[in-house]
Structure 1
Amino acid sequence: MVTKPTIARIWRGRTRRDVADSYEPYLRTEGIPPLQEVALGVQLFREDRDEETWFTAISYWPDIEAMTAFTKGDPIKVHHLNRDAEFLIELPERIELHRILVHDPSLR
């Protein structure tokens, strides 16, 4: 039986445009794989603006308990990567948690 996600955990961070191309592979290799090991699914988005680039990572979870086990504590607490302070304009202070109200499994 496939477990249905009920919660989306959303992290957002922004960089200067001149470091975005360096931060993206770092985020892909250091930030995303740990999520892929335990979350039901993970997506990474990038939005290039005039002077900055926004990155958004969304991971999907069956419940709060699964997220709490992954974060080893408060699921909305941000666990910064070692080099985040070097790349990000400001360190995000929290994670967003959203209940999934509509889930379309045909989106693959």
Structure 2
Amino acid sequence: MATRLSAAGKAELHASGVERQPIFARIWRGSTRPADLEEYTRYLYEFGVLKIERMQGCLGVQMFRRLTEDAGEFTVTSFWPTLDSIRVWSGDDLTRTRHLEKDPDFLLELPERVTLVEVCSNDWVIQA
């Protein structure tokens, strides 16, 4: 596969580094009370992010947070080489949310669904 350079001068690769072999991102969002931001950050990392990160097939996990006047907003994105590999975490329903034990104590609402997308490009190489 020939490597092209992007307008920024970086190597332009398909997300998986392989032509016609996409990878997938599973994106979860949730919100807490502002006062719970730090405690939920630790809880979500320890019992959510680390668990996903150790799952067979997981290519990586990112956790984002943002504090507003009304809420602590969280986004967790996990990356997977195939839809079948996501089923390790999700079961047959790929967009069903898998809540953590203490989510009802922290989250303002319990989201029922996650977003599943194909990663078309990224600017770092994810090893599949």
TM-score (norm 1): 0.89
How many residue pairs get aligned? The number is 105
- Give the structure 2 partner of residue 17 of structure 1: 34
1:27 matched to 2:44: yes
Q: After TM superposition, give the deviation of residue 22 of structure 1 in Å.
A: 1.2
What percent of counterpart residues are identical? 35
Query: For the residues of structure 2 that align with 1:69 and 1:87, how far apart are their CA atoms?
Result: 25
User: What does 1:1-108 align with in structure 2 at a 5 Å threshold?
Assistant: 4=16, 6-38=23-55, 39-105=58-124
Q: After TM superposition, give the deviation of residue 45 of structure 1 in Å.
A: 0.2
Q: How far does the alpha carbon of each residue in 1:22-49 deviate from its partner, in whole angstroms, 9 at most, with x for none?
A: 1110101101111101210100000111
Structure with the largest fraction of helix? 1
Runs of 5+ consecutive residues of structure 1 not aligned to the other structure: none
SS in 2 for 1:68: helix
Query: For the residues of structure 1 that align with 2:109 and 2:88, how far apart are their CA atoms?
Result: 27
SS in 2 for 1:94: coil
Q: Report runs of 4+ in structure 1 exceeding 3 Å deviation.
A: none
SS in 1 for 2:52: helix
Query: For the residues of structure 1 that align with 2:41 and 2:117, how far apart are their CA atoms?
Result: 24
More displaced 10-residue stretch of structure 1: 23-32 or 65-74: 65-74
Structure whose CA Rg is larger? 2
SS in 1 for 2:54: helix
More displaced 10-residue stretch of structure 1: 86-95 or 64-73: 64-73
